[in-house]
């Protein structure tokens, strides 16, 4: 049964960054934290507690899939995660929504009347 991606919107900043970081490749928790930091130019630092709290909800909602441990990794405690097709659809819908927000924002800012 196909779920309506719009029912997940809008996403919280943490959820958006996690989904965005997983959109490129499969990552472990520490990798997600580093990727989020890189995306935000160091402005948004995700703690492990916040990360795994969100991952727990995303896995429960089937937006993210847990892949388990990967043999040959530096740290055997790491588990990898990837974006599910539903998660990718939700991310696309959120980006589209944000795109509309940005477009509308730019439009409003350009047409703002100047005071004399």
Partner 1 sequence: MLRFIYRGVLRAHPSWFRRRFADEMLSIFDQTQGPLEAARLLGDGVISLLRQWTLRPEFLREPAAPATPNGTPLFHTFESSKPRTEALLYGGLLSLLVLNGACWTMGYAWNHPSFVWIQQPVIRAPESWRSKPPGQGAATVASDESLYTDEGRVLLVFKSHNPAPKTKSDASVDQALPQSAGALSEAARGSVPGDADVDLQAFVGNYVVNSGGAQAVRVSLEDGHLHLEIAGEFRSSFVPVSQSRLVAVGINDCAIEFVKNADGTVAQVDIFRGAQHLTAVRR
- Site residues for partner 1, 2-61, by CB under 8 A, read 28-30, 33, 45, 47-50, 52-53, 55-56, 60
Task: Please state, in angstroms and rounded to a whole number, the distance separating the CA atoms of residues 10 and 26.
Answer: 24
What lies within 8 Å, CB to CB, of 55 at 6+ separation is 18, 29, 32, 64, 81
CA 43, 47, 17, 76 dihedral sign is positive
Give me the least distance between CB of 50 and partner 1, in Å please.
7
Q: How far is the CB of 49 from partner 1 (least distance, A)?
A: 3
Contacts with partner 1 by CB under 8 A lie at: 28-30, 33, 45, 47-50, 52-53, 55-56, 60, 75, 77-79
């Amino acid at each position: 049964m196909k779920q309506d991606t719009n029912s997940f919107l809008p996403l919280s900043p943490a959820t958006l960054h996690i989904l965005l970081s997983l959109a490129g490749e499969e990552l472990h928790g520490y990798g997600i934290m580093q990727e989020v930091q890189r995306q935000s130019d160091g402005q948004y630092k995700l703690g492990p507690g916040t990360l795994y709290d969100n991952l727990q909800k995303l896995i429960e909602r089937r937006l993210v899939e847990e892949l388990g441990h990967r043999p040959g990794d530096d740290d055997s405690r790491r588990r990898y995660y990837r974006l599910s097709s539903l998660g990718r659809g939700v991310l696309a819908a959120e980006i589209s929504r944000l795109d509309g927000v940005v477009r509308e924002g730019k439009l409003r800012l350009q047409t703002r009347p100047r005071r004399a």
